[in-house]
Every structure is written in C-alpha cells, then in structure tokens.
Structure 1
Amino acid sequence: MELSAKSEYALLALLEMSAAYDQGEPLQIRQIAALHMIPDRYLEQLMATLRRKGLVRSQRGARGGYLLAKPPWQISILEVLNCIEGIDSKLAEKRPDKDDLARNLIRSVWLEACNAANAILATHTLQDLCDRRRAYQHVDVMYYI
C-alpha cells in the first residue's frame, strides 16, 4: 500500500481548501500549486476530477477558484482516495482458486489488510488533517530567551 503522488497532491489541495473553508473565499489553482510545488496543469486535472465527483465546486470570475463542496468534517480521506484513484472502498474479492491454497491465503491476508486500512481512512476527515497541522504548527513554535 502506497500513497500515490496524485492522491498526495489532491489531499494537499483539499487541505488548503479546508483551512480556508470558514472564510468562504475560493482558492486559485496557482496559489495551491505554488504553496506545495505542484505543477499547475496537473493540479487542474485533479481539481476537475474532484469537481466531477462532487468534492469541490468551482467559482468563476476575477475572484474565482475552487471551494469545498461540503464541510471538511464531512469528507473522509478514503472518499478522496476513492475519487482520485478510481477505486471503490469495498474491495472486490477475487474468486478463490480451488487449486492454489497458498495464493488464497495470501489474498485473504491482503484483503484483511486493505479492509483495515480503509476502515482507518474512513474515520479520518479533511478537518482532522487541518487540526493536526494546526497542532504541529503550535508545537514547532519555540521561544528562546
């Protein structure tokens, strides 16, 4: 199990939109891209996917950009990953191979691990990421006399 660059970029963009959610101001792709050194064109494609799947909405005009389509506490990390990677949260079980017990055992353990990972990702939201980032930023601030 590995986090793809595509999913990481999407989560970074959504994290920025989550942090700006209370202000209600849209963020432009170039702002987000500059903050996290994401190629603009690539981020445009990711945002289009997120928009089609209903996680973000776009706003036109001089002060246009992207906003979350629903509150950050209602968007799970699993939902984002499923949207970006095009996978369903319920893993399709492969048909057991009646002639290969070892392969079936490996698949069953892998499925168990994936289900456990999905369960954890489903419980964490974009709001959780914002809260953690805020907590880490406060810890990093040290005052010396």
Structure 2
Amino acid sequence: MELSCKSEYALLALLELATHYQSGEPLQIRQIAAQQNIPDRYLEQLLATLRRCGLVRSQRGAKGGYLLGREPWKINLLEVICCLEGSDSQSTDQDSGNKTTLESNLLREIWQEGCQAANAVLQKYTLQDLCEKRDAKRQLDIMYYI
C-alpha cells in the first residue's frame, strides 16, 4: 500500500483549498501549484477529476479559481483517494488465472484485512483534521530564543 504521487498532489491541493476555505475566495491553479510545489498542468488534470467527484468546484471569471465542493470537515481522505484511484485500487487480483491454493487464499484474506484497516484510518481523517495537525506541528517547530 503506497500513496501515489497523484493522490499526494491532490491531497496537497485540497489542503491548500481547505486552508483558504474560510475566506471564501477561490484559488487559481498557479497559486496552489506554487504554494504546494505541484506542476501546473498536472494539477489542472487532478482538479478536473476532483471536480467531477464533487470535491472541488470551479468559479469562472477574473477572480475565478477553485474552491472546496464541501466543508473541509466533511471531506475524508478515503473519498479523495477513491475519487482518484478508483474504489477498488487496493484490492488484489482475484482471478489471476493461477490455481487457487490455501496459502494464496490466506494471503488474500490478510491483504484484504490490511486494506480494510487502511481504509478505516483514511475514512477517519478529514481535510480539517489535516489542517489542524499541520498547524499543531508548525507550533511545535517554532523555537523561542532569549
């Protein structure tokens, strides 16, 4: 189980949008890309996918850009990853053409249990939780000198 580059970039972009959620002003692709160090063209594709899933919405015009589709506390990490990777991205290939053995079935069962545990963790955390964790870590990183 790995976090793909696609999912990582999308989560970083959504984190940036969640950070600016209270202002209600849309962010342009180049702003998000510069802040999170994401290639512009790739981000454009990711945001289009996220828009189709309803996780972001776009606003046209001179002051246009992207906004979260819902409140940051209502978007969990699992739905973001499922939007980008598909809902069965962590499943194993059930019909590989090989003979099914007791051992291979056992490995599949354990893999499924691991995927279910990972999904439970991802479903537990929202974009709001990410913002709060980031802010807490930033506070810890601040050093005071006398």
| TM-score, normalisation: structure 2 | 0.92
2: CA distance, partners of 1:93 / 1:8: 24
Judged with a 3 Å threshold, the aligned counterparts in structure 2 of structure 1 residues 137 and 104 are, in CA distance, closer, same or farther, namely: same
The answer for the alignment partner of 1:56 in structure 2 is 56
Secondary structure of 2:63's aligned partner: coil
Aligned length, in residue pairs: 144
Q: Percent identity?
A: 64
* C-alpha deviation, 1:94, in angstroms: 3.3
The answer for the alignment partner of 1:5 in structure 2 is 5
* C-alpha deviation, 1:92, in angstroms: 7.9
The answer for the alignment partner of 1:31 in structure 2 is 31
2: CA distance, partners of 1:118 / 1:98: 29
Aligned amino acid, residue 15 of structure 1: L
Secondary structure of 2:66's aligned partner: strand
* C-alpha deviation, 1:93, in angstroms: 8.5
Matches within 5 A, 1:1-145: 1-88=1-88, 91=91, 94=94, 99-145=100-146
* C-alpha deviation, 1:35, in angstroms: 1.3
Aligned amino acid, residue 134 of structure 2: R
Aligned amino acid, residue 15 of structure 2: L
Structure 2: stretches of 5+ with no match in the other structure? none
Q: Is the Cα–Cα contact under 8 Å of residues 92 and 108 in structure 2 kept in the other structure? A: no
* C-alpha deviation, 1:26, in angstroms: 0.5
Judged with a 3 Å threshold, the aligned counterparts in structure 2 of structure 1 residues 99 and 38 are, in CA distance, closer, same or farther, namely: closer
List 4+ stretches of structure 1 deviating above 2 A.
87-95
Judged with a 3 Å threshold, the aligned counterparts in structure 2 of structure 1 residues 144 and 75 are, in CA distance, closer, same or farther, namely: same
1: CA distance, partners of 2:119 / 2:89: 7
Q: Is the Cα–Cα contact under 8 Å of residues 90 and 115 in structure 2 kept in the other structure? A: no
2: CA distance, partners of 1:110 / 1:92: 8
Q: Is the Cα–Cα contact under 8 Å of residues 72 and 127 in structure 2 kept in the other structure? A: yes
CA displacement, residues 1-28 of structure 1 (integer Å, 9 cap, x when unaligned): 0000000000000000001001101011
| TM-score, normalisation: structure 1 | 0.93
CA displacement, residues 15-46 of structure 1 (integer Å, 9 cap, x when unaligned): 00001001101011101111122110000000
Judged with a 3 Å threshold, the aligned counterparts in structure 2 of structure 1 residues 5 and 57 are, in CA distance, closer, same or farther, namely: same
Aligned amino acid, residue 113 of structure 1: G
